[in-house]
Structures are given as structure tokens and as C-alpha cells.
């Protein structure tokens, strides 16, 4: 997530859709940067992959007008996104999880060392589709009543063309 009060935009980082790259592009223009969910708190209320409804709730608490900011995210072919999630799962088994706070990092390391690796089929069949990294797009960009909270959705596959054009508009 990135927020700019000067340029009035909010970028919601939908997982596994080039969100890290887009966040890095937006960094020089952002006043607020989301943190890893384990580091979220009063001082840092915005998380990296925070859904729109949760971000809007923080906006409301701060007295900011959510609809006064142009909000956007990036989507990706669903199959390619699941493959990316699976590869991320595999890399978490060998990485030291540098973005996590200490206790969650230790828990993740123990978890991944104790469980056997899943096949792609096992991984896909075991996905928890309504939370975290695997949250469906409509859950990520809509409020509880199904009202869309995000102005624009850019396609990952067209990002090289769409993102510069979009940022120029901002």
C-alpha cells in the first residue's frame, strides 16, 4: 500500500501482481507506506496488502476522505497468480522471512521446516480462498456490502504500458 496526500492517490497492493515493483515506483511520491501485517499498529496502521475496506476504515478514523483520493490496484490472470503464490510458498520454505517481525518469523521458520512440501495440486486444493494472500479480488476491492471502493484496476499483463499512462494522469 502507498498513499500520497499531495497527489491524492491510494495504491492497494493486491498480492502477487507486481505489487512490490509498483510500490517501489510509487515510493518517491508516497507519504505513507504500508508495513508487513506483523508490524502494523498505532504508529503504522496500514499494511502492505491491506484490503480496501480495511484501508477505508483507517481513513475514516483519521478523518480523511477515502473518495477524495484516486485508488487503484493491479490484477493478474488468476492461474498465473496461483502459480506465483505457489512459487512464493516454495521460496518461504528456504528464505529467512526478512519482512516479518521476530516472533512471526520464528513461527514461520519452524512451520516450514516441520511440514513436508506440498505438490502444486495439494497447494491449490488447500488454499484458503477468503483470507490473506489468496483473497479474491472482489473481497479485496469491495466493502462488506459489495460496493466497489477502488476507482481503477490495472492489468498486470499490460502494466508496462498502463502504469506510466496512469501515473501521468495522477
Q: Is the entire prediction scored with pTM above 0.75?
A: yes
| pLDDT reported for residue 107 | 78
CB 51 within 8 A of CB 15: no
The conformation of residue 61, written as its DSSP 8-state character, comes to: H
pLDDT digits (tens, 9 = 90+) for 106-165: 777 777 777 788 899 998 888 877 667 889 999 999 999 999 999 999 999 999 999 999
Nearest one of 46, 57, 68, 73 to 140, comparing CA atoms: 73
| Alpha carbons 76 and 133: distance in angstroms, whole number | 13
DSSP for 124-170 reads HHT--TTSGGG--HHHHHB-TTS-B--SEEEEGGGHHHHHHHHHHH-
* 112 CB burial (10 A radius; 0-12, 13-18, 19+): middle
Which pLDDT value is given to residue 34? 96
The reported pLDDT for the residue numbered 97 is: 61
User: pLDDT category, 94, cuts 50, 70, 90?
Assistant: low
> With 80 as the cut, is the pLDDT of residue 98 above it?
no
- Are 33 and 45 spatial neighbours (Cβ–Cβ below 8 Å)? no
The string of pLDDT tens digits covering residues 14-50 is 999 999 999 999 999 999 999 988 889 999 999 999 9
Distance of CA 35 to the CA centre of its chain: 10
Q: Residue 93: its pLDDT value, please?
A: 65
What was the pLDDT predicted at 110? 76
Higher per-residue pLDDT: 104 or 50: 50
Amino acid at each position: 500500500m502507498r498513499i500520497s496526500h499531495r497527489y491524492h492517490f491510494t495504491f492497494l497492493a493486491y498480492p502477487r501482481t507486481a505489487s512490490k515493483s509498483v510500490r517501489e515506483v510509487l515510493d518517491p511520491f508516497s507519504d505513507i507506506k504500508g508495513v508487513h501485517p506483523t508490524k502494523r499498529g498505532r504508529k503504522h496502521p496500514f499494511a502492505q496488502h491491506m484490503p480496501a475496506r480495511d484501508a477505508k476504515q483507517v481513513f475514516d478514523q483519521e478523518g480523511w476522505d477515502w473518495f477524495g483520493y484516486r485508488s487503484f490496484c493491479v490484477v493478474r490472470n488468476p492461474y498465473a497468480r496461483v502459480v506465483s503464490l505457489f512459487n512464493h510458498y516454495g521460496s518461504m520454505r528456504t528464505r529467512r522471512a526478512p519482512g516479518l517481525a521476530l516472533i512471526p518469523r520464528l513461527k514461520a521458520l519452524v512451520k516450514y521446516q516441520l511440514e513436508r512440501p506440498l505438490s502444486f495440486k495439494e497447494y491449490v486444493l488447500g488454499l484458503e480462498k477468503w483470507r490473506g494472500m489468496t483473497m479474491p479480488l472482489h473481497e479485496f476491492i469491495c466493502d462488506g456490502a459489495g460496493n466497489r471502493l477502488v476507482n481503477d484496476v490495472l492489468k498486470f499483463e499490460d502494466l508496462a504500458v498502463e502504469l506510466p499512462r496512469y501515473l501521468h494522469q495522477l
